[in-house]
Structure 1
């Protein structure tokens, strides 16, 4: 995972309760196991062969298949099952529609929660190259929110969303809050930023959060794949000064991953999702019948907030692991291996957040890497995939995609956004 018509209130979007969400997907998620072949679609031909071999060797067609010990697969969500990141898209959607249930004082506290004071890393500067200090930019964003809260009719004021979006305070709020998210994630351990983004859901019910997530998904699926630079207000430079940041808009469904999930289930192999987003947000995309993945809500392992009186708090759930990197292995061990006694037969991911779960389980026959030509830990797994290219027992396989269209391509190589040449490795 890589972090990152107007509706005036949460009441204007269709509310999907956890119970309704569960009932919608139960039928789709538990069909009888009737063996079917993987649709080659836009899979690399070598990957089609490797995946089909794994399905045949571990699914219901295998003589060693035991229905009381069903094999299972685990998928990362953002940038693996979909193109781009649904929680980062939700961050921008929440900003754009000012869908907060926070008083100004609550917002000010969440804004600073668990984030160290001081300057961000050197890459995060003002547009004229000056360091940006956490407390300075937090003060600016707090001032913007207090104005927006007092003036927007969806909060405590009387102005329409269109009027608000034309204001300098809104322009400043959008650019600086998104800048803060990227700066926090890159300047400090990623756990700080990934949890920080969740705290803005404070005081929402699960139904309200999932309604907002569904609206955000639909908007992003209909949006163009495009990178947009947002610059804060030059007339309201505040304490931090003028900053700018870029967001990659748009989401696309990876039809090949969705098809693989259905093929696995048809062959008696269960499907789970392990995500570094909050689980209740990903449950909407993974389980809602409109999107077609058919993953039951209980099969999604992700980040979690503590609840109080049926609403989210700004506290991470006590005793729940941080589901990223080595933490994804912890989650699979604690939730799945502890129950089943064995690891996943297939794991799919795209980034450092997935590298450990791709390689940590002796039961895993194949690790599917959506190829984003990255270095780091996932780069090491990708190097192994490249070295094993074409081998019938390859432990890792690379699957290419075109970031201009969001579609997979029948190749191990990928095409990065803004580039015109496919590459295999970083």
Structure 2
């Protein structure tokens, strides 16, 4: 999750071109099972990745089966377009899939969240400040009404009938507004843990069934940004608020295929995510999606369990798997046991910037180019400076946010725009 040079010389272009041809990007030889399918990779990136496979894969002279190389991928906005955890938040809201009483819901809503106003950008539609206290009072009132009336909780009304009510529309707009306001106002650790506390009282099987339904819905949905505004008929204490959700999920086929190619080359594949690990395990491991990552290879956020169900307590002693925490997780769960760091790292945001740069064993860090500033912006600038270098340490990979597809360029196209850009 995220809160977001030169021209080639003739010699470099010639060297890179030969590598591209080897990777199959020149359109001559068909890629074999153990060579990278160039797909929509930037040709220079395809060449660089193929060179890493050639130098470190199972066919290289230095390959040691007792010291298998490994690659680490971020999940959201790296392996897929958009964020499956945030998509699940909206799916859970839209389908009212909660297993909490109103009192339990209120406990979760306030979990670790400071009282008081949000940052100045979070105001009502008419520009008045919004506080957590007022917003929470409105969401609590809505949930108590929904709990009493929706047949999936304690009432007798169908979901379709409930979704037409102002109470539901107020609940959706204000709860999603609350999530964004918490993430942007307070340390991200607060918001990124908060979002997973709403699985309280679910078994992993129940939550993962919901996650699979959310994935399927997102893949079938259009890529679209929708503004949700709370109804004027229920201003409550907070007033009328509006927030925008980016709907739709797309599989990044180049990433999915690269994972299989890495395994064909004797290189293991791991996921490091700032989403709940059990949420990502559904997407990364289910055969319907094709990534083939086993559940034990997913490192993510974790909750304490009680009687086989999730609690609203973060797992004691576990990493906050974001930013520097991802480096800690890789060191603690992988590097310390294997004795070496990852060969390749793939990411897109500030949450991945540290793991992209922190390991001396990493040959290349691939950045899905979202034209962000901050820590990932610093890594992206280094990648931009290395374009054309056949031994580049950082790579920028473009995509078009209008389609969710990668494009064979280092530049990307932002949603709502038409021009390709390299940096923020």
TM-score of the superposed pair, with normalisation by structure 2: 0.93
SS at match of 1:282: helix
Partner of residue 270, structure 1:
268
Offset at residue 414 of structure 1 (A): 0.1
Question: For 2:193 and 2:231, how far apart are their aligned partners in 1?
Answer: 27
- Work out whether residues 3 and 350 of structure 2, in 8 Å CA contact, stay in contact via their aligned partners in 1: no
Partner of residue 145, structure 2:
147
Offset at residue 35 of structure 1 (A): 6.2
- Work out whether residues 3 and 85 of structure 1, in 8 Å CA contact, stay in contact via their aligned partners in 2: no
Partner of residue 76, structure 2:
78
Partner of residue 285, structure 2:
287
Question: For 2:355 and 2:283, how far apart are their aligned partners in 1?
Answer: 22
For residues 31-87 of structure 1, what are the alpha-carbon distances to aligned partners after superposition, in whole Å with 9 as ceiling and x for unaligned?
xxx961100110000001000000111101110100011000000000000000000
Partner of residue 231, structure 2:
233
RMSD over aligned Cα atoms: 1.0
**53-62 or 345-354: which moved more?**
53-62
Partner of residue 192, structure 2:
194
Gaps of 5+ in 1: 5-33
Question: For 1:236 and 1:2, how far apart are their aligned partners in 2?
Answer: 31
Question: For 2:140 and 2:106, how far apart are their aligned partners in 1?
Answer: 6
Partner of residue 324, structure 2:
326
Partner of residue 352, structure 2:
354
Offset at residue 420 of structure 1 (A): 1.0
Q: Give the counterpart of 2:414 among 404, 416, 420.
A: 416
Offset at residue 338 of structure 1 (A): 1.3
Q: Give the counterpart of 2:40 among 39, 42, 59.
A: 42
- Work out whether residues 191 and 322 of structure 1, in 8 Å CA contact, stay in contact via their aligned partners in 2: yes
Offset at residue 3 of structure 1 (A): 7.0
Question: For 1:232 and 1:402, how far apart are their aligned partners in 2?
Answer: 31
Partner of residue 336, structure 1:
334
Instruction: Give the alignment of 1:147-226 within 5 angstroms.
Output: 147-226=145-224
Question: For 2:337 and 2:96, how far apart are their aligned partners in 1?
Answer: 41
Partner of residue 377, structure 1:
375
Residues 405 and 138 of structure 1, relative CA distance in 2, 3 Å threshold: same
Question: For 2:392 and 2:84, how far apart are their aligned partners in 1?
Answer: 30
SS at match of 2:228: strand
Question: For 1:152 and 1:100, how far apart are their aligned partners in 2?
Answer: 11
For residues 350-399 of structure 1, what are the alpha-carbon distances to aligned partners after superposition, in whole Å with 9 as ceiling and x for unaligned?
00000000000000000000000000000000000000001011000000
Q: Matched residue pairs, number?
A: 397
Question: For 2:135 and 2:100, how far apart are their aligned partners in 1?
Answer: 19
Q: Give the counterpart of 2:136 among 138, 157, 163.
A: 138
Partner of residue 2, structure 2:
2
Question: For 1:353 and 1:251, how far apart are their aligned partners in 2?
Answer: 20
SS at match of 1:36: coil
Question: For 1:172 and 1:165, how far apart are their aligned partners in 2?
Answer: 10
Segments ≥4 residues shifted beyond 3 Å: none
Question: For 2:34 and 2:297, how far apart are their aligned partners in 1?
Answer: 22
For residues 176-233 of structure 1, what are the alpha-carbon distances to aligned partners after superposition, in whole Å with 9 as ceiling and x for unaligned?
0000000000000000000000110000000000000000000000000000000011
Partner of residue 386, structure 1:
384
Offset at residue 274 of structure 1 (A): 0.1
Instruction: Give the alignment of 1:110-149 within 5 angstroms.
Output: 110-149=108-147
- Work out whether residues 413 and 423 of structure 1, in 8 Å CA contact, stay in contact via their aligned partners in 2: yes
Question: For 2:384 and 2:366, how far apart are their aligned partners in 1?
Answer: 12
SS at match of 1:318: coil
Q: Give the counterpart of 1:109 among 84, 107, 110.
A: 107
Q: Give the counterpart of 2:56 among 55, 58, 65.
A: 58
- Work out whether residues 36 and 266 of structure 1, in 8 Å CA contact, stay in contact via their aligned partners in 2: yes
- Work out whether residues 71 and 345 of structure 1, in 8 Å CA contact, stay in contact via their aligned partners in 2: yes
For residues 238-276 of structure 1, what are the alpha-carbon distances to aligned partners after superposition, in whole Å with 9 as ceiling and x for unaligned?
000000000000000000000110000000000000000
- Work out whether residues 175 and 245 of structure 1, in 8 Å CA contact, stay in contact via their aligned partners in 2: yes
Question: For 2:106 and 2:34, how far apart are their aligned partners in 1?
Answer: 54
Question: For 1:377 and 1:251, how far apart are their aligned partners in 2?
Answer: 25
Question: For 1:320 and 1:104, how far apart are their aligned partners in 2?
Answer: 29
Partner of residue 254, structure 1:
252
Question: For 1:378 and 1:154, how far apart are their aligned partners in 2?
Answer: 42
- Work out whether residues 3 and 88 of structure 1, in 8 Å CA contact, stay in contact via their aligned partners in 2: no
SS at match of 1:272: strand
TM-score of the superposed pair, with normalisation by structure 1: 0.92
Question: For 1:35 and 1:56, how far apart are their aligned partners in 2?
Answer: 13
